[in-house]
Amino acid sequence: MVKTKAIYTGGCLCEGVRYRIRGALRGVIACHCSQCRRTSGHYAAMTSAPSADIELTASHSLRWYKSSDTAERGFCSVCGSNLFWRQVGRDAISITAGTLDAPTQLAMDEHIFVADKADYYTISDALPKKQQW
C-alpha cells in the first residue's frame, strides 16, 4: 500500500547521512533474506520511493556496498546504520523504515523471503507471506 505524505525526512544515528523524500512511499515490507538479516542483525523493514524523489541533505559518510551482482546497499561509514538498498537498473531506492523520522504514518504490508528466515523467531501476524520475492 502506498502512503502519501508531503515530505518525509530521515537519516542515520550520527546524522552523517540525512535525506528528504518528496512524495509517496510504499508500505513497509519485511525482508527475511540472509543478506538483509546480516546487514541489519534481524530482518529488514523497508519502504521504497522513486530515486528522483530522494534528496540527500547530508551524505559525507554514505558508502555503497555491492552486496550481489544485482544490488547494492547504502550505509553510514561512521555509525554503521543500514540506510538504503537499490537494485541495479531499477529507478527506485528502498529505505530502511527505522531511519525515517517519526511520525511516518506507514504500516507493514507483507513479509518476503520467509523461506530464508532465521530459526529463532516466528512470524505470527496475518500479513501476506511470500516464500521468495
**Residue 6 — pLDDT band, cuts 50, 70, 90?**
confident
CATH fold of 2-116, please?
Answer: 2.170.150
The rounded distance, in Å, linking the Cα atoms of 76 and 17 is 7
pLDDT of 75-111, one tens digit each? 999 999 999 999 999 999 999 999 999 999 999 999 9
pLDDT of 113-125, one tens digit each? 999 999 999 999 9
Q: What is the mean pLDDT of the chain?
A: 95
DSSP 8-state secondary structure symbol assigned to residue 111: E
Q: Are the C-beta atoms of 74 and 64 separated by less than 8 Å?
A: yes
> Identity (one letter) of the amino acid at 73?
R
Q: Are the C-beta atoms of 21 and 104 separated by less than 8 Å?
A: no
List beta partners, residue 100.
10
The rounded distance, in Å, linking the Cα atoms of 7 and 104 is 10
Confidence (pTM): 0.91
